[in-house]
Each structure stands twice: as C-alpha cells, then as structure tokens.
Amino acid sequence: MATIKRSAKGVRRVARANDRASKARRARSISGRIVDWLMGLLPFTEDQLQRIFLYLIIAAALALAWLVASIAGVPALVQAQISQMASRAGFEVRHVRVSGIERMNDDRVYERVLGERDRPMPQVDLEAIREDLLQLPWVKDARVSRQLPGTLAIDIVERVPHAVLQKPDRFMLVDVEGTELEPISRAAIGDRLLVSGPGAARQVAALERLLEAAPALRPQVRGAEWVGNRRWNLTFQTKQVLALPQGEDGAAAALVSFARLDGQNRLLGGEVTTFDMRAPPRIYMRIPGRADALLNAPKQAEETETP
C-alpha cells in the first residue's frame, strides 16, 4: 500500500507567495490610484499627453541628429553652398552706402568695410561690422543692414563736438561726454569752450550741468580749469576769472549768486580781475594795483600835510 507524505514547508511557501502577490496587487492598485489622481490634476487629456510625449521624442531625435551633423560639419557645408548660390545669383556686396556723416572723414568708415566687397550676402556679419565701426572716435552709434541684392547700408550717428580739451602737447576736440574726437589747432578753437586741468575730460558733462544753472552767464564763459580734481575756475570773455567752491551743489549755488550780483552791479567788464567765491556766501575781489595804492595812501597823505 502506497504512503503519501505531505510537506508543511510547501504549504508555507505557497502561503508566502500568495501573500506577496496580494501585497503587490495592493501596491499596484494604490500606485495606480495615485497616478490617476496626478493625471487628473494636469490640464491635459490622455490623448494630448500622448501627443506631447511624441513631440518630445521627435525633438530629442532631431537634436541628436543635428548634433551628429554638426560634428560631421554638415551645417557649415550647407551654409557654404547657400552662400555660393547667393553669390552666383548676384546677392553679394557690390556697393557700400554710408549716410549720417557730417563732420568726420568718411574714408575712415570705408576703410573698415572694404573687406566686405564681393562677399556673399549670407556671409556678411552685420554685428561684427558695427562693433568695428564703434571703435572710431567720431562714431557714437552705427546701424548696418543689407539692401538686397548687393548693397551694404551703413548709417552713422556722429558725436557732436562740444568743447576743446587743452592737453600738455595739443588741443583735442571733445564731445559732451569728454570723448576725444580729433586734434584741433589753436587758431581753429574760435568761440568753443576751452577745458583744461588734470582729469578735466571726465568732468565735461558735470561742467555743462553747472553752466546750465546760470544760462545768462553761459555764453560769456570761454574757459574752465579743473583745479585739484575738486573744483572749477571759470574764465569769461572779459578775461576775468571766477573761482568756484568744490561740490556740484555748492558750485551751482555760487554761480547763480554771481549771476545775480552781476545783473545788479555789472561785475563783468569792470576793474576786478578775479572773483573768489570759494568761501560762500563771501566773495573776494582782486583789483590789480589796489593793494599798492592802499599802501602808498598814508605816505601821500603825510607828504600833503608837510609844509
């Protein structure tokens, strides 16, 4: 008679397997509900999400293809071929048109762009040309554009000469920002404002603001010396000098006060050679020979009284 033996270990294994399977089903059920809940929060339908994932896959594939093509040099070859086709079709630089120049020598501009002649239009680097033109002292701004089929258009915004900077060895024409434009002879200075002193070029804009505080005096100022890197001495067309205090506000207040005094007492054009307002509100005036006259006055009085 056959005997059948049952193993308790087999039953326990089956029970553990069933328990693990049950836990896995519960975990999948919970994770599925969480995913469904998260999907419900998104403002997309399931079809829209599928299309988005598809677009992302396609974009990644195209990016990978472009990277491989770039490593192989394909874009450069394509660009070169396009440039050759454009050149054969007449789309190359045959003319350079420059506008906006009134004071500077336009040859300086043409020298910067001569290398672009006969270059295919697709190969013209407009921004590089503009940056090169901005290195010219007279050029404040420049606009460079293509006018198909064969013209390179350059529109220059010039700096406006504002004053003359006196340097140790020469005179330089400068704009209101103190940018040096070109040398100028003493005879050509004319009625331009002459600015002098170490560091004066950096103070031209501040000087203009100062002079605007007293517009009645502005046309009469011929020179301005920046003294000690802190204050101005103004020279008028009468050759008289006004020493102003340091600081923009203090200098402006002193200049306005001097303009008022001049309007009341006609200071400019008189005997005084120097007006010192460095210690406001006081003003000290220097008249040539007055000190000697005061010293000699007692002697003259004694001689007059002697019988």
For residue 149, what is the domain's CATH number? 3.10.20.310
Q: Is residue 86 part of a domain?
A: no
Task: State the pLDDT at residue 82.
Answer: 47
Mean pLDDT: which of 21-30, 35-44, 118-127, 247-256 is highest? 247-256
Q: Is residue 122 part of a domain?
A: yes
Domain match, 219 and 128 both: no
Q: Is residue 22 part of a domain?
A: no
Band the pLDDT of 271: cuts 50, 70, 90.
very high
Q: Is residue 20 part of a domain?
A: no
If one counts the domains in the chain, the total is 3
Q: Assign residue 198 the CATH number of its domain.
A: 3.40.50.11690
Q: Which two tokens stand for residue 104?
A: 């500077």
Domain match, 252 and 266 both: yes
Q: Is residue 254 part of a domain?
A: yes
CA 134 from chain centre, in angstroms, equals 11
Q: Is residue 17 part of a domain?
A: no
Task: State the pLDDT at residue 305.
Answer: 46
Task: State the pLDDT at residue 15.
Answer: 61
Mean pLDDT confidence for 129-135? 94
Q: Does residue 307 register a pLDDT over 50?
A: no
Domain match, 205 and 169 both: yes
Q: Does residue 106 register a pLDDT over 80?
A: yes
Domain match, 154 and 246 both: no
Domain match, 279 and 222 both: yes
Q: Which of 102, 134, 158 is the last residue of a domain?
A: 158
Backbone angles phi, psi at 7, to 5 degrees: -105, 125
Band the pLDDT of 150: cuts 50, 70, 90.
confident
Domain match, 286 and 274 both: yes
Task: State the pLDDT at residue 301.
Answer: 45
More confident residue, 76 or 67: 67
Domain match, 168 and 246 both: yes
Q: Does residue 83 register a pLDDT over 50?
A: no
Domain match, 145 and 263 both: no
Domain match, 267 and 181 both: yes
What beta strand segments (E) does the chain contain? 95-99, 139-147, 151-158, 161-166, 171-175, 180-184, 193-196, 221-227, 231-236, 241-243, 274-276, 284-286
Q: Is 261 exposed, middle or buried (0-12, 13-18, 19+ CB in 10 A)?
A: middle
Band the pLDDT of 99: cuts 50, 70, 90.
very high
Q: Which of 135, 158, 181 is the last residue of a domain?
A: 158
Domain match, 102 and 182 both: no
Residue pLDDT, tens place only, 4-61: 455 445 556 656 666 666 666 665 666 556 655 555 555 556 666 666 666 677 667 6
Q: Is residue 220 part of a domain?
A: yes
Q: Where in the sequence is the domain holding 62, given as residue range(s)?
A: 45-76
Task: State the pLDDT at residue 51.
Answer: 67
> Is the full-model pTM beyond 0.85?
no
Q: Is residue 23 part of a domain?
A: no
Domain match, 201 and 141 both: no
The sheet with strand 180-184 has its strands ordered as: 180-184, 171-175, 161-166, 193-196, 221-227, 231-236, 241-243, 274-276, 284-286
Domain match, 189 and 140 both: no
